[in-house]
Amino acid sequence: MSNQGTHFASLVRPYVLVGGRTSSSHPELRWETLVEAVPERASGVGTSEQQVLVSLANKPVSVAELSAALRLPAQVVAIIVGDLLDAGVVRVHVTDPVEIELSALTRMIARVRAL
């Protein structure tokens, strides 16, 4: 995945990419939130970092992983994802931690035990 990442941060000051904004208008976008491109809308993106982000999100990928691949701070990635969400280009898998049930914990325990 990281091969696809390019280094926008070294090219442009990160916050210039997002017009000087420092927080996303989507508080549900956390570092672990999974982002997935909406294939039929993926052609509607403008800037090059948006294009790379959408191509990385061809399967669910977290804001943090996008941050690592794009070499941009997670907060900046959250702002870009928020813009793409508003444009309908991506969707997000929102997880409310209070909704995590015993079955999910049981599956996690089994997976970790198998390490």
Partner 1 sequence: MSAPFSPSQDRSSTANASSSHTVNTSSAHSANVNSARTAIGSSGLGGGRPHVTAVKFVVAGGFGVGKTTFVGSISEVEPLSTEAAMTVVAGEVDNHLAVGHTAKTTTTVALDFGRLTVDEALVMYLFGAPGQGRFSFLWDDLVNGALGAVLLVDTRRVEDCFAAVDYFEQKRLPFVVGVNCFDNAPRYPLEEVREALGVAKAVPFIEMDARVRSSCRDTLLVLLELLVDRLGAPSAI
Q: Is 105 in the site for partner 1 (CB under 8 A)?
A: yes
Helices (H), the chain: 8-11, 48-56, 63-70, 74-86, 102-113
Do the Cβ atoms of 66 and 81 come closer than 8 Å?
Answer: yes
15 is a contact residue toward partner 1 (CB under 8 A): yes
R_g (Cα) of the chain, nearest Å: 15
Chain residues that interact with partner 1, rule: CB under 8 A: 2, 6-11, 13-15, 20, 22-23, 26-28, 30-34, 36, 38, 41, 48, 51-52, 60, 62, 64-65, 67-68, 71, 73-76, 85-86, 88, 90-102, 104-109, 111-113, 115
